[in-house]
Copies of this chain bind each other. A is one copy, B any other.
Amino acid sequence: MTAGTRGHAEAAPHTRFAGLLVDALGPDAVSTDPGTLQRYSHDYGHVAEPFLPLAVVFAGGVEDVQETLRLAGRHGVSVIARGAGTGVSGGAHATEGCVVLSLERMNRILDIRAEDEVAVVEPGVVNADLNDAVAPHGLMYAPDPASFRQSTIGGNVATNAGGLRCAKYGVTRDSVLGLEVVLADGTLIRTGRDTFKGVAGYDLTSLFVGSEGTLGVVVSVTVRLRYLSAEHRSVAALFPDIVAAAAGVVAIARQRVQPAITELLDSGTMAVIDTLHGTDLASRGGALLLVRLDGHGAVIEESLVRGALLELGASLSEAGDALADRLIEMRRSSRGDEQDDAYRVGEDVAVPRSRLVSYMAELREIAARHTVLLRIVAHAGDGNLHPTFWVEPAEGEAGLVRLNAALDESIRAALAAGGTITGEHGVGQYKRRWLAWEQQPEVLELQHRVKELFDPQGILNPGKAI
């Protein structure tokens, strides 16, 4: 290079690539504004190693996504697709020299076919917006992560998001019938189908669901909708302690009742709700079980649930009292909006349901042994726990060492109980260190070969998910 000359060709590589993006997509679709780069450099997960993207692309349509991937492929630049960035495993964290591809502007609901109980949406549609749009038809989109008012369907697909209603209505994968996906080389493919049932060819749809943008970029999602129940009944049950409350979960199952929601909160979580909402839960019991029944049998199921819980000595909300409903909404906000950092980590293991009690006891022992603070909330219907571990930031490095030791032990204990390192948050970047504890080397290797097949250059969200 000749010193003294200045221009396009001599700009720093990242400026050059941003320029190419602007040339291809127009200035409105590309930002290199420092504040924007910072804001789009991470999701809600803890950032271990911060990087700024070269640029943020705001795709307005499928062609923008294709063009971005083609350019990225040509120049060997990584692409991190993202929705609202509410993930908590760092799946949308920027990596060195990457471009972030935001799908927020692709937020049109393309079709609602009420008679078919199907909707087609762009990836940037917010979960709650889809639910608002289909509710007048008596329908709902079932997966409801705590972030449902912010998170997008595309992000939900990327992480195979769960939520509170999964034990009855399934996770994201169970509601996705088909996808349109842009592959690493810019090719647009259509997977799956428009019908409830269909077994033509391999289930590529499920392979993309939960793959965290490492195999392709989802640009359209066909979802199955479920009936929005006209009837629902909620029960709040206070127990002296978490073991008694977990016995309540088992008692409900013995009645062969499948609640829409079964949330279990320990005293620490109750205290958080008290602080946020001015309630007095923590003074009235040591654990809270929140149950919602829906469907045409809701009233019958409510009576079965109340009977079973009373028999265990629980203190129940009055029938019809709106408090139980309000508590469920409060519970939704008791974790979903928090940002993790090095000193506070919200975990996401799942264990076989019969192990809930013993696993929670182990968690308390682990926290005590490492002098780490702990509170627990669980989607108890499907054994998915969200323990939050934390230490005081003032403790510095010494606290972090204890925190990480406790986290590691909690994961080992979940696996020993027949569980998984992630029930619904995804592996992202944060949980990769634990993946080999769960999966055998042959499976890890196979997944990397699948990744290589779909993305031979390794430009799609590198270092995530597998």
Contact = CB atoms under 8 A, between A and B. Distances in A.
Contacts of A36: none
A118 B301 contact: no
Contacts of A39: none
Interface residues of A, number: 88
Interface string A250-291: 100100111000000000000000000000000000000000
Contacts of A382: 195-197
Given A443-B190, A446-B189, A197 B229 contact: no
Interface in A404-425: 418-425
A447 B201 contact: yes
A394 interface: no
Nearest to A172: B199
Given A202-B207, A297-B300, A450-B202, A383 B442 contact: no
A296 B307 CA distance: 15
A198 B195 CA distance: 25
Interface string A372-385: 00000001001110
A431 B198 CA distance: 13
A370 interface: no
B440 A206 contact: no
A382 B202 CA distance: 20
Interface stretch (A25-33, A60-68, A125-133, A158-166): A158-166
Nearest to A162: B197
A440 B183 CA distance: 14
A134 to B, nearest CB: 13
Given A200-B427, A449-B453, A194 B443 contact: no
Nearest to A294: B297
A443 B189 contact: yes
Contact of A193 (B196, B203, B420, B425): B420
Contact of A203 (B138, B160, B200): B160
Contacts of A191: 443
Contacts of A116: 352-354, 383
A23 to B, nearest CB: 27
A77 interface: no
A203 B195 contact: no
Contact of A166 (B197, B258, B297): B197
12 contacts: A116-B354, A116-B383, A189-B442, A189-B443, A190-B440, A194-B418, A195-B423, A201-B439, A202-B465, A297-B298, A450-B450, A450-B453
Closest 6 CB pairs between A and B? A297-B297, A206-B206, A296-B297, A115-B354, A196-B382, A198-B420
